[in-house]
Amino acid sequence: MSGQSLLPKVWFVGAGPGDPDLVTVKGRDLIARADAILFAGSLVQAAATQWAPAHCEVMDSKDMTLEQITDWLIEKAKPGKTVIRLQTGDPGLYGALIEMVQPLDAAGIAVEVVPGVSSAMAAMACAVESLTLPEVTQTVILTRVEGRTPMPEGESLRELASHHSTLCLFLSITLLPIIQTELKAAGWADDAPVLVVHKASWPGEQQIIRGTLADIREKCREAKINSQAMIVVSPTLGARHWPDLKKSKLYDAGFTHRFRRAERPKTEEQA
């Protein structure tokens, strides 16, 4: 842990996907000595603040505007104080990080970011799935479906889906009809596997829904999932049950790397 700064400072800490045990050790240690914490209550479990000391001022930002959030952080930031903005997942991924940092920069307040576990990784971990597989896909696209926030040119879902790699779709569970249409237009089959995880890692609240591009919308409707869900569409889904799987070269006995020499196959005489 770095020493206390002589300047006012705000820490942006990733609270992870929901389970408070998935906050990093560094994040937990900061919470444990915090003087003020502003947490995103609509997405972050209050349990993530459980390590805060008795004197710590804890505030929920779910009904605050951006200006109110930054004003609060600026007001609380004083030399020697530990002020934390506790954000869901990782602060740099759909976290409005730069929008909050700019006013702090203008106010002469130092900023440091502690990364967190993304719901994309947590969803795959909960389902015991892999984002990548040798000779299946080595690419992961983290994106969202266009809604009130427009997508930049070249980043439409149809264009991204045309790569047929792993797609992790944030903030899009209410847009499943668009997802179905755009992926089919990009060449994905009706039986392409789809994984939806609601509140990944949240104790007692997590739901895992498995389906296909054709039926995932109906399955989510039946499960009443309409918020806080990660959607994953990937050619790797279900690989745990494949009879034939391409293995990683890294662990292949016939593969040489700097820590191990390849094993030579035995000749008939040696056998």
Report domain extents, the chain.
Answer: 9-117, 120-238
Are the C-beta atoms of 121 and 234 separated by less than 8 Å?
A: no
Q: In angstroms, how far apart are the furthest CA atoms of the chain?
A: 80
Mean pLDDT of the region 134-154: 92
Number of H helices, E strands in the chain: 7, 10
Quick one: tokens of 70?
Answer: 């930054």
CATH number of 120-238: 3.30.950.10
What pLDDT is attached to residue 40? 85
- How far is Cα of residue 213 from the mean position of the Cα atoms in its chain? 22
pLDDT exceeds 50 at position 1:
no
Residue 270: how many CB atoms within 10 A of its CB?
Answer: 7
CATH number of 9-117: 3.40.1010.10
Residue 226: how many CB atoms within 10 A of its CB?
Answer: 12
**Percent of the chain topping pLDDT 90:** 79
What pLDDT is attached to residue 252? 57
Distance CA 115, CA 123 (A): 17
pTM listed for this prediction? 0.86
What pLDDT is attached to residue 271? 54
- Work out the burial of residue 125: count CB atoms within 10 Å of its CB; fewer than 13 is exposed, 13-18 middle, 19 or more buried: middle
Are the C-beta atoms of 109 and 8 separated by less than 8 Å?
A: yes
Least confident of 18-22, 34-38, 64-68: 18-22
Distance CA 38, CA 57 (A): 8
Closest CA to 30 of 79, 81, 70, 84: 84
| Block residue for tokens 């047929």 | 164
Q: Are strands 83-87 and 36-39 parallel, antiparallel or unpaired?
A: parallel
